[in-house]
Structure 1
Amino acid sequence: MTTADEGAGLRERKKRMTRQALRTAAVRLFTERGPTSVTVEEICTEAGVSPRTFFNYFDSKEETLLPFTRDTYEEVAGRVRARPPQEEPLEAVRAVVEQSIARAVAGDTWHQEAELLRAHPQLLQRGMVAARTLNLALRDGLGERTGRGADDPYVRLVAAVAVTAVHVAVNVWQGAVEERDISLVLSEAFDGVERGLTPPPE
């Protein structure tokens, strides 16, 4: 007989496997035929799931290439709440965001995803609805962590600044002439915020 924790762990593993199967299918089809020629139904057929299951994880086919989705909302919020209590709010948020990006980069399909995002900028633009999900997750996590609530102006500001750092980092990374590590670009963006936006040393 499995315990409640074991059952929850099994469900989470199955969710991760399904999410990855959908990502892998989308990457393969996008690479073969171009994103505009691929439908959600075709991604589902490739991954062996129903469209209803697809929309439990993603709001659009473009989101399959992005690390923050509606499905990861509670995970991100929970990780913010669980950061060490001595960390300042921005420090806690930065750690969670950087960990999420690092996990995405370590994934089996990251290099193909990166090539697709560079080759088809519209994927990133249409998928930026994920930024709203990230913003809400950070707000909820910080609101509970600080006791201020998600609608507190300070909480909203910290979450918005973090999302802006991600947005800037992704655009800098995408437009770089030479290959750059997106994790390092993101770290530079957060460093700039933590310096109070003073110019970096030459």
Structure 2
Amino acid sequence: MSPESAAPELGLRERKKQAARQALGTAALRLALERGLDQVRVEDIANEVGVSPRTFNNYFSSKEEAVCSFIVAQQERIREALRARPASEPLWDAVINAAVIQASRDGAPKREDVRRMRDMLRNAGLFAEMLRAHATVERVLAEAVAERAGSEANPLHARMLAGIVQSAFRISFHTWLSSGSDANFLPTFVNLLREAAAGMPALTAAAAGTTAQRPAAS
């Protein structure tokens, strides 16, 4: 089965729900960056999209969850890019190329947005939601990896690979936030994936050098 045929076709109802969730998440993030998280209410987010607060609550349990939904949305786009890769492509190559495709589609963030996001993460509730979003990402990617690997593949291996991808994403994202750079963090994410696929040669070489310098045990 090819990746294209493995991807489920969403019905109209599901596509509308997906679009509504994305619109609410985008509005929540934009308003939080513009005003500050404490100055944004659920009602404000709902009004931006033209829905009721009750509709908002059908998709998100809090404004913090809505703000952090971009993390899951980012990985869902990488998942779809992975599903579209040629069936003959090796799994690691397909994962990396899917990430490269997504990196090329996402524009670089504004420096001011980076600063504001870093400030917002001092909010304990938002930070907790961000960690929860990163955990969700692993499940999202594991499903796509398992689909591509086929029914004979070990599902634990799919989860392990997804965990590696998720960790690379989390590390590159938080490093970017700490740096204050206005460059896109996705190239760093892609480079970490390439290092992982190659067995982390730089790290293992450094470890080997350290071991070689240690005096032999007497």
TM over 0.5: yes
Instruction: Quote the offset at 1:35 in angstroms.
Output: 0.5
Alignment of 1:191 with 2:194, yes or no, is yes
Instruction: Quote the offset at 1:67 in angstroms.
Output: 2.9
Instruction: Quote the offset at 1:163 in angstroms.
Output: 0.3
Alignment of 1:128 with 2:131, yes or no, is yes
* 2:70 aligned counterpart, secondary structure: coil
1:1-202 matched pairs, under 5 angstroms: 12=15, 15-16=18-19, 18-19=20-21, 21-62=23-64, 63-69=66-72, 77-103=79-105, 105-106=106-107, 110-111=109-110, 113-121=113-121, 122=123, 123=126, 125-148=128-151, 152-199=155-202
The verdict on how the C-alpha distance between 1:24 and 1:199 changes in structure 2, with shifts beyond 3 A counting, is same
% identical aligned pairs: 28
For structure 1, list consecutive stretches of 5 or more residues without a partner in the other structure: 1-6
Contact 1:94–1:162 (8 Å) recurs in 2: no
* 2:38 aligned counterpart, secondary structure: helix
In 2, the alpha carbon distance for the partners of 1:165 and 1:50 equals 37
Most deviating of 167-176 and 122-131? 122-131
Q: Which residue of 2 aligns with 1:4?
A: none
Aligned-residue RMSD, C-alpha: 3.7
Greater relative contact order: 1 or 2 (C-alpha under 8 angstroms, separation 6 or more)?
Answer: 2
In 1, the alpha carbon distance for the partners of 2:69 and 2:43 equals 19
* 2:187 aligned counterpart, secondary structure: helix
In 2, the alpha carbon distance for the partners of 1:187 and 1:174 equals 17
In 2, the alpha carbon distance for the partners of 1:87 and 1:198 equals 23
**Higher Cα Rg, which structure:** 2
Instruction: Quote the offset at 1:49 in angstroms.
Output: 1.1
In 2, the alpha carbon distance for the partners of 1:72 and 1:57 equals 18
1:83-105 per-position Cα deviation (integer Å, ceiling 9, x unaligned): 211222222223334444554x3
In 1, the alpha carbon distance for the partners of 2:104 and 2:59 equals 20
Contact 1:59–1:70 (8 Å) recurs in 2: no
Matching residue's letter, 2:186: S
In 1, the alpha carbon distance for the partners of 2:144 and 2:31 equals 35
For structure 2, list consecutive stretches of 5 or more residues without a partner in the other structure: 1-9, 206-218
Aligned length: 191
Contact 1:31–1:116 (8 Å) recurs in 2: yes
Matching residue's letter, 2:170: H
The verdict on how the C-alpha distance between 1:118 and 1:186 changes in structure 2, with shifts beyond 3 A counting, is same
Matching residue's letter, 2:53: P
